[in-house]
Structure 1
């Protein structure tokens, strides 16, 4: 008997009686079984990925701190709001410290190259002198405001009463995988794939932290209005600057990775629904209802989760192109200020990576949706699987799938792989032309 997949994980019993079990750290899994019980599958999903990831989002201040056993009390709710306000205050302090030290996320610190000739060795040494004349509005206020608004939007969405998207989505993907012949193997691969996004986010944050520390160590850094302060005060300000900037990156990486993770879940969900229709005879109306549930989850991703990612992406793309212009010395006004190439190249690569990640995941999701549109034709050509299914049901599936309008959207535009390939090819052509015309040094 098939159980309703809409039940929440918290209402499911924590134990079942199974024969020939193999215990896998948190739950027991039937030996050599491909079709697990609903309770076992959901417990595995809950313990392996859902609960740890929800705790990580709570640490970022995006979700309230929840008690898994019972409803959160008043003091826990109050603590959650106070903690989020502290995170916001910490981020605002970081924006202010970046302005005081003239630290730009696209270029790091401004260094002016000064030549120092040694008369003893007759060698010419280059010394980097810290200077600051960046635009207050375009270099600090606008990027910081967009970054903060993106975080606030994510907090509102994650804390809204209707935000059960991630738990419900994980439930349904894990339940859909039980219908496949691979069974539990698919679910283990799914867990590893989801954690891969978290690992990549951690690696990105660590590399960003390394670049920030190296930029601080490259030369003498001064803070506005505190030039004559004691050395230990300047040191504490530098440490606070690193911590606050690190927190900016952690928050942004959490929001972007959450979008990529949900896009990956939706990609697998639509693939599992397609395989379910191809491998087993199903009722047309029941399968269409599952597709309608998928469309609701996809709409939530496009309309609710994507805007905050778009705000971060605007900032990240501006840092990417500004950093590239800085590296290529294409800015004639600031040509005398030189980048420290090793650090700035790493910085630009990091911004490129986090800028492209949502587009790549969105393109993969759109591609899976496009493949689903042709499943109706495949069903009509498979007489052995659906030979008992009436022809009018197969025709209804064919008409339904061909009329689907589903795709991932960023900036209210559909994201497709061919568009990304075109933009990438166009960017390479522009770089080659500028280089051949001696505009890039």
Structure 2
């Protein structure tokens, strides 16, 4: 079988025949017919060897083209399948993270109930009043809940005997006035301010920040082999959402446990005449408490999730620079983008979180005081349990942002030292000019973005010192018998 017939696409049969004929023709012209006949044995072998060598070279070149073409096709198929997988993971993340998050914002009044209809710029006229009055309704429910808590003397660390006659109601109300400033006016004003400020942050200014950050991190994680895969990233984001719903359930359970522990509450000056009115007021009071607890958990989960996304973004950036899957110029652009995103989290969301954390800290302190000094306040076993559960829930919720901020600052410090690492050991950057390495070192050394809460940089050393001071303070107070748990 002739070799040219095996690879007809290369056209090797015609080339070999034509080259042999042209060579023989040139030999005939040079030596004549008789000369060619006299040199036919040697010259013909030489020409045949030359043509065989050329044919083998062209055959090898054709096989290399086929191999490269097949490799390019396989790479294109792999990249296409990888893009499809990344798109599926991103869509799954939107369904499991963004949609529940947007539903929570809608319940709190931070997002319109009815959005614009497709192919229309604005919602219909019937929808606009609902989107406008619903946040006002939520705001009124919160204020009504504050009024009902004061009327019923409902606070987690005081236990005033609840009686239904007029003289007892007046006595209870006078006892409530002793705690008016510390447990009613200051916490309620702070909680109302936190809700209004969060409304401004999440509805007026920061509408799609979390979704934008998720898409950017997915894009960066899908374009390289470093760091977490998009599917692992989606699972992590889903875990944060599940944790947020778990916290909401725990906070609601604590509020219900407090109401049950206080048995029959009297709403003093509101003059409740029937059980239906009484249970209606209790439900409205609990509804306001649930809304505020949902505000705390939603804002904190949003901050924690954005910090985690920034951590993944910075860790993936460091890995790509070390593996040299991107050049230094592109790394500088990615660092500037991460710095911009961190500033948004720092100066807008972190200030709102700081105010919410102050309120949560106040609630945790009230629960801790109620649990430690409950004997003096005539607490029952159920009240002890409610105070202990409340203290644990509020401490866990308020402590998570500090931990995430410290982890984000650790990732920022890794970026700061990345320039020194690349400059001192430029493995993989041997062909890079020294000026480019020095410029990258200078740029990373001047980065100033840090995670802050209460306008203070949070790091692991700060958390350790704070925990040590709080522990010794509590021990000191117990030794001085400021708190009595078992006596």
Structure-1-length-normalised TM-score:
0.80
Corresponding residue number in structure 2 for 1:96: 147
Alignment of 1:419-430 (within 5 A): 419-430=462-473
Quickly say closer, same or farther: Cα 1:110–1:172, change in 2 above 3 A: same
**Map 1:9-408 → 2, pairs under 5 A:** 33=82, 43=91, 45-65=93-113, 66-67=115-116, 69-70=118-119, 71-75=121-125, 76-104=127-155, 106-107=156-157, 110-111=159-160, 132-133=175-176, 134-160=178-204, 163-181=207-225, 186-218=229-261, 219-227=263-271, 229-329=273-373, 335-338=376-379, 340-381=383-424, 383-408=426-451
Q: 1:43 to 1:233 in 2, by over 3 A?
A: closer
CA 1:290/1:182 → structure 2, altered by over 3 Å: closer, same or farther? closer
What is the alpha-carbon distance in structure 2 between the residues aligned to residue 301 and residue 169 of structure 1?
Answer: 11
Q: Highest Rg: 1 or 2? A: 2
Q: Compared with structure 1, are the counterparts of its residues 188 and 230 closer, same or farther at alpha carbon in structure 2 (3 Å cutoff)?
A: same
How far does the alpha carbon of each residue in 1:295-338 deviate from its partner, in whole angstroms, 9 at most, with x for none? Answer: 111111111111221111111112222322232229xxx93443
Structure with more helix by fraction: 2
Deviations 1:138-158 (A, max 9, x none): 211221111111111111122
1:189: Cα distance to partner? Answer: 1.9
Secondary structure of the structure 2 residue equivalent to 1:102:
coil
Q: Is the 8 A contact 2:141 2:287 kept in 1?
A: no
In 1: Cα distance, 2:413 partner to 2:427 partner: 25
Unpaired segments of 5 or more residues in structure 1?
1-17, 22-28, 114-128
Deviation string, structure 1 residues 327-384 (Cα, Å, up to 9, x no partner): 2229xxx934436211110111112112212211111111111111111122235544
> Closer, same or farther in 2 for the Cα pair 1:216/1:45, shift >3 Å?
closer
* Residue 170 (structure 1) shift: 1.3
Q: Give deviations 1:164-198, integer Å, cap 9, x for gaps.
A: 42222112111111233168x62222222222222
Number of equivalences: 394
What stretches of structure 2 of length at least 5 have no aligned partner?
1-74, 163-170
Contact kept, 8 Å, 2:153 with 2:172, in 1: the verdict is: no
Offset at residue 100 of structure 1 (A): 1.4
Tell me the TM-score normalised to structure 2 length: 0.73
SS in 2 for 1:103: coil
The question of whether the paired residues in 2 share the 8 Å contact of 1:259 and 1:306 is answered with: yes
Question: What is the distance in 1 between the residues matched to 2:205 and 2:172?
Answer: 49
Alpha carbon RMSD of aligned pairs, Å?
3.0
CA–CA separation in structure 2 for the residues paired with 1:207 and 1:46: 25
Q: Please tell me whether the aligned partners of residues 86 and 230 of structure 2 are also in contact (alpha carbons under 8 angstroms).
A: no
Distance 1:172 1:388 in 2: 30
On the 8 A contact 2:144/2:288 being kept in 1, the answer is: yes
Q: Distance between the aligned counterparts of 1:78 and 1:262, measured in 2?
A: 32
Determine the C-alpha separation between the residues in 2 that align with 1:419 and 1:352: 17
Q: Tell me if structure 2 keeps the 8 A contact 1:111–1:338.
A: no
Give yes or no for contact 1:271–1:368 (8 Å, CA) kept in 2: yes
